[in-house]
Structures are given as structure tokens and as C-alpha cells.
Chain A
Amino acid sequence: MTAMNKARLHFWWQSWQGALALLLSLAALATLPLLADAPEPYNPITMFSVFLLTIAAAVCALLPLPGMLVAITLFVCTHLSAAMLIAGLAGNEGKATGALYMLVAADWLLAWRCVSLLSSVRTRSKSLDGLLRLIIPAIFGAWILILWEVATRGAGIPFILLPPPSSIAARIATSLPILWADVQQTIFKAVLAGYILGSGAGFLTAILADRFTFLRRGLMPIGNLMSALPIIGVAPIMVMWFGFDWQSKAAVVTVMTFFPMLVNTVAGLSAAGTMERDLMRSYAADYRQTLLKLRLPAAMPFIFNALKINSTLALIGAIVAEFFGTPIVGMGFRISTEIGRMNVDMVWAEIAVAALAGSVFYGVVALGERATTFWHPSNRGG
């Protein structure tokens, strides 16, 4: 009996979001309407459905039902209701009342409950686990966009300051050819070329500095000094040297990525332990053998660290370098010209594309790292 009481108490504590959501939606119901002096108010059927979905979800969260069933109900109800609310906001910018915000807050709390239920689910199949790992951050991301949309449209925030995500998405959809041309110019030409050149040159220089003491003594202090310089400042000079096209941006990226790779590789080459080196010496291994079979594998975590740092540096370098003169294509060019024409949605569209491209780039490097340094204590887990 007491165990059951405890379980029930525990249950109530777990779904405080449900209780709060119920209170909020009832409060919203009591303080109608959702929009004040709106040109196109919600029609009664939509209003009814939104309240029904939210209250049903809140009640469902409070009932002692199986976790998975509750999670699915919450997922469907909250997102349907949020979608209907947002659809009705277009054309009514700045007209939202407290009731609407309370209703959205109720949906948000229920979505929170949904995520916390999903993240405590234990599955037996690997594919289902993988799906959950995608769904949970997707719900998180979706709610950032939903709250952003409701805040900008509901409060009527000026478009220039912060456009709602829906108009950014619309802009992306209508400007795909332009965005694609910009990605090709900036990422496939400037970023990749500069990244490969800079990281490769940094790596080779590190090997040379390791082989020849005078290089290490002379170059490393300068390398450390150079890596502290704001290298993006050389962008105008690179434009003077290499012209307006992508080559000058690739040069900026090369300079930016060179030193992180140099410094990290040099550090990595001394990562192998003394015992492991003594072992190589006891085999009378030569410099090349020791390098290939011991010191480079041991340096891999450091090298991948540099590759990851460089993947973000390269993107920043290429985009900012385009502010200093480009042909009429490129992500940095687009951002600098469209902001001048007050087309803020296009600027945001470019930022979104850059974020996506940067994440993919980083992800590919991280996958390569997982495959190469699986042996490192930090990666052994699975």
C-alpha cells in the first residue's frame, strides 16, 4: 500500500509539467480571446481543437498510462496544437494576448514532458535507439523554432531585427539556386582548398620541425606568436595578392588553419611514452619506422583535435574574407550585400546554410576521428 502511494507520489512529481500545463490552458480559456483586434481571428473550430488537444494532452500526462503511449500522445497533440496556433498568427502580427502565450507555454511544457519520457525509454533494438537519439534533439530544435516564431509574430518584432523562422525557411526555399552557387563558391572552393592546404602544410612543417632541431628551435616560437595574431586581418592583403576570386579566400583559410595544425602536431609527436620509445630503440628502429609505427599513431588524437578546430576556423575565415572583395557570388558576399539591402531573411538563410554545412563538415571529421582513434581511452566506451 505504502509502496503504491510512493509510486503515485513519484508519478505526480514526474509530471508536474502536465499539472502546470493543465492550469495554464484553463487560465488561457478563462482569459480569451487569443488575439486582440485581429484582422483575421482564429475560427471557432481551430480554437476548439487547440484547447481540446492541449487539455487532452495535459490530462494524458497525468494519468498512469504506459510511458511510450503518453509520449506519443503528447508528441502528436502538442505539435498539432502549436502548428494550428502558428498558422493563425500569420497576418495578425503583434496581436497576441496573454492567453495565447499561456497556451503555447502549456504546449511547450507538455513537449518537455514528452522529451523527458522519451529519454528515459529503454529499447532493446539498436535502430530504435538510433531513432530516439535523433528524435529527442529534433523536438528540442523544433521548439526553439516554435517559440521563436510565436515570439516574433505574436509580439510583432520588426522584421529587420529578427525575422520569424517561417519566412527564413520560405526564403531558403525560393533561393535554392543562389544558395547552392554560394555554397559551391565558398565551401567547395575556398574552404576545402584552404583547409586541405593549410592543414597539410601545418602537418608537414611539424614533421620537418621534429626532424630538424634548428627548425623546431627557430620556427615554433614564431608559430606560437603567429597563432595568436588575428589572422583574419590579412584578408585584404590576400585579396591584393591573389585577386578577387576564391583563391584569395583559400589563402586566408590556409593561413588560418596552418598554425593550429602545426602546434597540435608538434605536441602530438611528443605524446608517445618513454617506455614505448625505448621499445623502438631496443629494436634499433630508424627515425621513419619510429615515426610511422609509434609517434604518428600516438599523435592522432592531437591531429584530429586540430582538424576539428580547423573545420570551424576555415568556414569563418572564408566567409569573413569575402567581406573584403569578391566576385558576385559567395556566402560572405551575400551576407554583406543583403544586409545592406535590408534583406535580413536572406542573411539568416545564409547563416542557416553555413551552420548546416559547418555541422556536416565537423561531423565528417569527428567520424574520421572515431574510426582512427578508437583505441584512445576517451573513445573505448562502446
Chain B
Amino acid sequence: MSLNENSFSVVSAQKLGLTFETGDGPVHALSNVDLEVKKGDFVSFIGPSGCGKTTFLRVIADLEKATSGDIRVNGMTPEEARKARSYGYVFQAPALYPWRTIENNIALPLEIMGYTAADRKARIERTLDLVNLSGFGKKYPWQLSGGMQQRASIARALAFDADLLLMDEPFGALDEIVRDHLNEQLLKLWARTQKTICFVTHSIPEAVYLSTKIVVMSPRPGRVTDVIESTLPKERPLEIRETPEFLAIAHRVREGLRAGHSYEE
């Protein structure tokens, strides 16, 4: 992690707050969030539902606007960053367009951003290979399994030149075995592409397995309760989840979650 210490800050939030005005009065989705995400980091956001982890990701993506504090993405406001197409976003569901084939779904951002046809073709091929979907380009999304669809949506987010990948519980709807497999692939992909990844999850093993930095959040109001720098090596086989080091980090995450969450409610 020493490599990252002086490197460029991709996301930097100071005293960030977001309040939704609802019929039942204001809801504090985020309050006083301070956070730095460095270039090349794999940051997981973990916490119970309502802790604002998805909201925070959506603020980075300029899909929501913060109501107080300051946030910079690649040194710009989120809106400028979005207009500069600085990030790829992977949603909870694949959100592939059913009238487009897989390769045309991957071509969608490329068409919008004005890449040439030849460039599009090369990028589709490369990203399909990255997510192990070569040969499925001509299929329609509804002809593939849920795991394959989600991989296609990751390919779509990787197709254009954004260094930041925002992932909102991308594997939440998949079963454990597929999920393990995709986690392993995601780590390899992260190593190959050198992207910065912000990853929202509610699974402790997933967060510990994937991340260089784990942000533990708690609800009412949504806030950061702990930031854990992972001591695990960059090379992580699935078996690493049995090691004492892994379990120690998982324990600290669990403690952080418990501290922030009062079960008496």
C-alpha cells in the first residue's frame, strides 16, 4: 500500500452530507463523510441497508447531488467528471438492453461517446475476452444466465477509457458459487486493467477478499464508522479466506458493523 500513499487521489470527500426531503421529514442518507480513494485502490463499502453506501456511490457518479460538504472526482466536481466520462458504473442488475445483442450492448457507450466502428469492434473483442465471454457477442442478454449477464455489464463498463469503476452490489443477486468465481475473476481483471474500483457490498467475506481498503458504514444517519487498510497480499487465491490474517480483518469488519448498529431498535 506504500505505493499508493503519495499517489493521485481519485475520489476525495470532505464533510459530505446528503439529506432527502420526504413526506415524513428529512432523511439523512449521508452525514459528515470524509474519504480518500487513491489511484489503483480497490475500496469496498460495507454496511447494513440504509447506511448510505449506494448513495455515496451515486454521489460520486453524479446520479445524486450532495447537499453539504465537498466531493472531488479526479479533481473535478462529480458533474464535470460525469461529463468527462471518467467512470464506468455497474448496477445491481445487469441493465442490458434486451433489443441489443451482447456486443451491441457493449458498443452502446462507445456509440454514445463517438468511437469509430473499427475501434468499437476491437474494444468489444478485448472486453468480452476480459470477462471470459468471447463467443457470446451475438447472443441476446435474455439468452444468457444471470452471471453471464452481469459479466457482460462489467464488460460494458470497461469498454471505454474510464480509470474508475463504480460497482453497486454487482453480484448481490447471484448464488454463492458463481459469486466466488466472479470475485476471483474481478481481482484478476483489476490487476490487468489497473483501474480504481469502488465496490458496494453487504457481504463481509466478499469485502475482505476483494479490497485494499474497507469502508465500514452505519445507518441513521449514514456515516463512516471505520476504514480498514487490508494487509492481505495482492495475489489472492480463494483459499486465502481460511487464513488467520483474513479472519482477523473479517473480525474487525464485523466489530465495526456491530458498533455502528444498535440492535435494540
Determine if A217 is an interface residue (Cβ-Cβ < 8 Å).
no
Q: Which residues of A contact B71 (CB under 8 A)?
A: none
Do residues A375 and B85 form an inter-chain contact, with CB atoms below 8 A?
Answer: no
Determine if B48 is an interface residue (Cβ-Cβ < 8 Å).
no
Q: Which residues of B contact A273 (CB under 8 A)?
A: 95
- Taking a contact as CB atoms closer than 8 A, the residue among A283, A293, A374, A376 that contacts B85 in the complex is A283
Determine if B63 is an interface residue (Cβ-Cβ < 8 Å).
yes
Do residues B91 and A278 form an inter-chain contact, with CB atoms below 8 A?
Answer: yes
Do residues A284 and B82 form an inter-chain contact, with CB atoms below 8 A?
Answer: yes
Contacts known (A275-B91, A293-B112); A282 close to B82, Cβ less than 8 A: yes
Do residues B83 and A284 form an inter-chain contact, with CB atoms below 8 A?
Answer: yes
Q: Which residues of B contact A280 (CB under 8 A)?
A: 112
- Taking a contact as CB atoms closer than 8 A, the residue among B87, B93, B97 that contacts A282 in the complex is B87
User: What's the Cα separation between A21 and B67 when bound, in Å?
Assistant: 82
User: What's the Cα separation between A373 and B142 when bound, in Å?
Assistant: 13
Do residues B61 and A282 form an inter-chain contact, with CB atoms below 8 A?
Answer: yes
Do residues A375 and B91 form an inter-chain contact, with CB atoms below 8 A?
Answer: no
Do residues A380 and B142 form an inter-chain contact, with CB atoms below 8 A?
Answer: yes
How far apart are B13's CB and chain A's nearest CB, in angstroms? Answer: 19
Do residues A275 and B93 form an inter-chain contact, with CB atoms below 8 A?
Answer: yes
Interface size counted on chain B using CB atoms at 8 A: 24
**Nearest CB in chain B to that of A297: its residue:** B99
Do residues B91 and A279 form an inter-chain contact, with CB atoms below 8 A?
Answer: yes
Q: Which residues of B contact A275 (CB under 8 A)?
A: 91-93, 95
How far apart are B198's CB and chain A's nearest CB, in angstroms? Answer: 13
**Nearest CB in chain B to that of A272: its residue:** B97
Determine if B69 is an interface residue (Cβ-Cβ < 8 Å).
no
Determine if A129 is an interface residue (Cβ-Cβ < 8 Å).
no
Determine if A289 is an interface residue (Cβ-Cβ < 8 Å).
yes
**Nearest CB in chain A to that of B91: its residue:** A275
User: What's the Cα separation between A284 and B109 when bound, in Å?
Assistant: 9
Interface mask (B85-107 → A, CB under 8 Å = 1, otherwise 0): 10111011101011100000000
Determine if A133 is an interface residue (Cβ-Cβ < 8 Å).
no
Determine if B246 is an interface residue (Cβ-Cβ < 8 Å).
no
**Nearest CB in chain A to that of B99: its residue:** A375
**Nearest CB in chain A to that of B87: its residue:** A282
Do residues A283 and B109 form an inter-chain contact, with CB atoms below 8 A?
Answer: yes
Determine if B177 is an interface residue (Cβ-Cβ < 8 Å).
no
Do residues B63 and A278 form an inter-chain contact, with CB atoms below 8 A?
Answer: yes
How far apart are B165's CB and chain A's nearest CB, in angstroms? Answer: 11
Determine if B108 is an interface residue (Cβ-Cβ < 8 Å).
yes
Q: Which residues of B contact A376 (CB under 8 A)?
A: 98
Q: Which residues of A contact B61 (CB under 8 A)?
A: 282
Q: Which residues of A contact B113 (CB under 8 A)?
A: 283
User: What's the Cα separation between A375 and B109 when bound, in Å?
Assistant: 20
Interface mask (A79-95 → B, CB under 8 Å = 1, otherwise 0): 00000000000000000
Contacts known (A289-B112, A293-B108, A380-B142); A281 close to B82, Cβ less than 8 A: yes
Determine if B111 is an interface residue (Cβ-Cβ < 8 Å).
yes
Interface residues of A in 252-285 (CB under 8 A from B): 273, 275-276, 278-285
Supplied contacts A275-B92, A373-B99, 17 more A-B pairs, CB within 8 Å: A275-B93, A276-B95, A278-B91, A279-B89, A281-B63, A282-B63, A283-B113, A284-B82, A284-B84, A284-B112, A293-B97, A293-B108, A294-B97, A297-B97, A374-B99, A375-B99, A376-B98
Q: Could you list 25 A-B pairs, sorted by A, with CB under 8 Å?
A: A273-B95, A275-B93, A275-B95, A276-B95, A276-B97, A278-B91, A279-B95, A280-B112, A281-B62, A282-B82, A282-B89, A283-B109, A283-B113, A284-B82, A284-B112, A293-B97, A294-B97, A297-B97, A297-B99, A300-B99, A373-B99, A374-B99, A375-B98, A375-B99, A377-B142
How far apart are B59's CB and chain A's nearest CB, in angstroms? Answer: 13
**Nearest CB in chain B to that of A373: its residue:** B99
Do residues A284 and B63 form an inter-chain contact, with CB atoms below 8 A?
Answer: no
How far apart are B215's CB and chain A's nearest CB, in angstroms? Answer: 21
Interface residues of A in 133-155 (CB under 8 A from B): none
Do residues B85 and A284 form an inter-chain contact, with CB atoms below 8 A?
Answer: yes
Determine if B140 is an interface residue (Cβ-Cβ < 8 Å).
yes
